[in-house]
Amino acid sequence: MPDGQLDLDTADIGDLDSYDGALGGLTRREFLNYCTGVAAALGLSPALGINIANAATTAPRPSVIWLSGQACTGCVETLLRTSHPSLETLILDQISLEYNETLNAGCGHQAENWKQEAMKANWGKYLMVTDGAVPTKDGGVYCKVAGKTYLESVQECAKGAAAILSMGSCSSWGGWPSTGVNPTGAVGLHEVIKDKPIVTIPGCPPNPYNFLSTVLHFVTFGKLPALDDKGRPKFAYGRLIHENCERRAHFDAGRFAMEFGDYGHRQGYCLYKLGCKGPETYANCPAIGFNDVGQGTWPVGTGHPCFGCTEQGVGFTKSIHELASLKSVTPPNSYPDVRMQKGEGASTGAVAAVAGIAGAAVGAGAIIASRLGKHDKTNDTNPGA
C-alpha cells in the first residue's frame, strides 16, 4: 500500500512457488484453481484460466484510483470478503491501488498528495473505480474530501482515466441516496461523466466476484467484457434473477409462500407473492452466491424476497412487499394453488340493498329537482312571491 514514502516493490513475480506470500500463502495449484474459477464465472473456457493466471502475475500492474462518494462503504467491504484467494493478496498486489479512502494507510494531506502524484505519473493509463453516488445539488457541497467536492474530484480524476468502473448501485445509477425526495441531488457517475464509457457493477453490495472478474478480464485481455446498454457486464447481468432462481420450479407450479413462516415459506416455495423482485432484476446472485460458503447463500436462498438492489426504479424505490412486474411469464392460474380467494364477496341481498339505496336516492333527487324546477318557474313569473 502506498503511503507516499515507501518505494513500491516492482520486482517481477514470475515463479509463484518461490514467492511465498505473494498469494497469501496459496500454492500454485490453488491459485490456478482460482483463476480457472474466474474464467468459469466469466463464461470462458477453463483453459483460459491459465491466461488469467499469467496476466495476474506478469502483466504490468495497472494503477487503480478508487474514489468514494455518498456510500456506506459496503462495496469496499464486500471486496474484503472474497476468500479464494483474498482480495489483498490478489488484487492489491496485482494491481497497484494508489488511493482508497477505506484502505489507505496514510491519511490527510499525505493521502491526498499521493493521489495527485499517482494521477500525474499514470495520466491516461490508470483505472478509476468509484463507489457511492455523486451529490449535485447546491454545487455538490454534500460530499467533500480534502476541501474539494466529490463532483470536482470525479471530474478531475476521470479526465486521466483509461477506464472507469462504477462499483455498487449508488455509483451505477444513484442507489439509495438518489431515491425518494433525494435531498442532495444524488446521481450515478454516468450522469456527470458523459465523455467516457463507464462499466457499472450495480448491487447493494454487488457480488465481489463480478467486480474481480471484470478487472481480471481487463488485465488479461486488455479490454472490457461485453457490456449491456447500462454498462453492466453481460456475464453477470445478462439474465433475470428469476431465470436462474433455485425456487423457479415452485413459481412455475403455482406454489407460493404467502406469509413469512407459513407452510409454503417453510417448504421453500417461491417468494413472488411476498414481493420478490427477482422477476424484474438482472443479476447472477442465484448462480454464484455470496461469501463462498456454498449454495443458497443469497437473499432468496435464505427465505427473504429479493428487493431488486441492482435495478434502478426497483431497489429502494418499490416497497419490499410490493409485487414485482413480471417481464416474462405470469404465474399460472390453472393449477390448484395455495392462493385462495379470501374475504366475503357480494351477496345478492347486499347488492340489492345498495342498488335500492342508490336508486331511491337518484329517484328522490329527481322528484325533488323537478319540484324545485316548478318552484323556480313560479318565482320567475311571480317575482313578488
Partner 1 sequence: MTSLVSHDAAPSAQPAHAPVGGRLVTVPFLIALAFVAIAGFILVQRFAHGIGAVSNLSDGYPWGIWVAIDVVIGSAFGCAGYVMALLVYILNRGEYHAMVRPAVMASLFGYGLAGAAVLVDLGRYWNFYHMMMPSYAQPNSVMLEVGLCVATYTIVLIIEFAPAFLERFGMDNARHKLSKVLFFFIALGVLLPTMHQSSLGTMMVILGHKLSPLWQTQMLPVFFLTSAVLMGFAIVVWESVLSALGFRRIMETAELARLSGLMVYTGLAFVVLRFVDLAVRGQLGAVFGAHGAVMFWVETLLMIGGIVMILPVASRRRGKALFVSSSLFLAGGIIYRLNVYIVGLIPAVGPWSYFPSLSEILITVGIFSLEVVLYLVFVKKLPVMHAVSTKHG
DSSP code at position 238: S
Of 8 and 364, the one with the shorter C-beta distance to partner 1 is: 364
Of 115 and 318, the one with the shorter C-beta distance to partner 1 is: 318
Q: Is 334 in the site for partner 1 (CB under 8 A)?
A: no
DSSP code at position 332: P
Q: How far apart are CA 163 and CA 271, in angstroms?
A: 39
SS (HEC) of 152-208: HHHHHHHHCEEEEEEECHHHHHCCHHHCCCCCCCEECHHHCCCCCCEEEECCCCCCH
Stretch that binds partner 1, among 145-153, 185-193, 294-302, 316-324 (CB under 8 A): 316-324
At closest approach, how far in Å is the CB of 169 from partner 1? 21
Amino acid sitting at position 212: L
Q: Is 345 in the site for partner 1 (CB under 8 A)?
A: yes
Q: Is 330 in the site for partner 1 (CB under 8 A)?
A: no
Spatial CB neighbours of 116, under 8 Å, sequence gap ≥ 6: none
- Kindly tell me which residue out of 349, 381, 382, 383 binds partner 1, with binding defined by CB under 8 A: 349
**Quick one: cell of 190?**
454516468
At closest approach, how far in Å is the CB of 203 from partner 1? 23
Of 223 and 374, the one with the shorter C-beta distance to partner 1 is: 374
Number of residues that bind partner 1 (CB under 8 A): 31
Q: From the CA atom positions of the chain, what is the Rg in Å?
A: 30
At closest approach, how far in Å is the CB of 298 from partner 1? 23
Spatial CB neighbours of 189, under 8 Å, sequence gap ≥ 6: 130, 134, 154, 164, 166, 171, 172, 198
DSSP code at position 67: E
Q: Is 354 in the site for partner 1 (CB under 8 A)?
A: yes
Site string for partner 1, 251-290 (x = CB under 8 A): -------xx-------------xx----------------
Stretch that binds partner 1, among 28-36, 217-225, 232-240, 315-323 (CB under 8 A): 315-323
Q: Is 146 in the site for partner 1 (CB under 8 A)?
A: no
Of 66 and 272, the one with the shorter C-beta distance to partner 1 is: 272
Are 285 and 310 a contacting pair, CB within 8 Å? no
Q: Is 381 in the site for partner 1 (CB under 8 A)?
A: no
- Kindly tell me which residue out of 7, 12, 229, 344 binds partner 1, with binding defined by CB under 8 A: 344
Q: Is 222 in the site for partner 1 (CB under 8 A)?
A: no
At closest approach, how far in Å is the CB of 384 from partner 1? 11
Give the SS3 label for residue 144: strand
At closest approach, how far in Å is the CB of 378 from partner 1? 10
Are 335 and 253 a contacting pair, CB within 8 Å? yes
Q: Is 115 in the site for partner 1 (CB under 8 A)?
A: no
Q: Is 357 in the site for partner 1 (CB under 8 A)?
A: yes
Q: How far apart are CA 13 and CA 180, in angstroms?
A: 49
- Kindly tell me which residue out of 107, 141, 329, 372 binds partner 1, with binding defined by CB under 8 A: 372
Give the SS3 label for residue 95: coil
Are 162 and 124 a contacting pair, CB within 8 Å? yes
Amino acid sitting at position 76: V
Stretch that binds partner 1, among 55-63, 166-174, 214-222, 353-361 (CB under 8 A): 353-361
Helix (H) or strand (E) holding 129: strand 126-131
Residue among 260, 233, 248 nearest 166 (CA) = 233
Residues that bind partner 1 (CB under 8 A): 258-259, 273-274, 318-319, 321-322, 339, 341-347, 349-351, 353-354, 357, 365, 368-373, 375-376
